[in-house]
Amino acid sequence: MIEHVTERVENVLRHGQVGSILVQWTSLQSTGREDQEFLNLVQDSFLSQHVLEATRGENVLDIVLSSQKEFVDNVNICEPLGCSDHNQIHFIIKVKGERNRKIRYRKNFHKGRYKDMREYLAKIDWNKTMKNKTATECWNILKSEIECIVDKFVPLKKQGKRLEEETLIEGSH
């Protein structure tokens, strides 16, 4: 599976539990055949293991693998959560994003023409408009009128949205 993922994606992050696989990640040594096969697969895929401390007893049974060592930062092993016998792993994923200069518009309620709104609403004969209507129908009529006057009397303002060069995402396993 790791081979399949790394063939298609430039930046790979994989985390999870490796069960009974026992690898000494600091020295890159293993004892069993399956352990060595897993270690070889990780190394052949040019992945870095970021969890170097024990996560269950004295063993590292949980992994955070990435295709770029600088992709993961601040890996901390914390106490187990609830009844789990595995320690928690907290880490930060550093993601580079492209600048997005798409201009978006939003309502500028600060500059709304509220006097005009009140006058517009005062001209509506609410008794006639709501007569013989259910509560749901009345709500939908009122909501529709409010949306209409907001569109009519509240101007739009430009809001530039940019992604930062580097975005930090906190992860947990």
The tens digit of pLDDT for each residue in 86-100 reads 788 888 877 776 666
Residues 9 and 68: their CA atoms lie apart, in Å, by 12
Q: Is residue 39 part of a domain?
A: yes
73/33 same-domain check: yes
Listed as ranges, residues in the chain with pLDDT below 70 are 1-21, 97-101, 160-173
- Name the domain count of the chain: 2
pLDDT number for residue 171: 53
pLDDT number for residue 164: 45
pLDDT number for residue 17: 65
Domain enclosing residue 80, as ranges: 2-98+164-172
Q: Is residue 11 part of a domain?
A: yes
For 134, the token pair is 């259910």
Alpha-carbon separation of residue 160 from 30, 63, 85, 114, 157 (angstroms): 52, 39, 47, 26, 10
130/86 same-domain check: no
**Mean pLDDT over the full length of the chain:** 78
Considering only CA atoms, which of 41, 46, 50 is closest in space to residue 16? Answer: 50
9/46 same-domain check: yes
83/128 same-domain check: no
pLDDT number for residue 13: 61
pLDDT number for residue 7: 46
147/80 same-domain check: no
pTM (2 d.p.): 0.48
pLDDT number for residue 5: 41
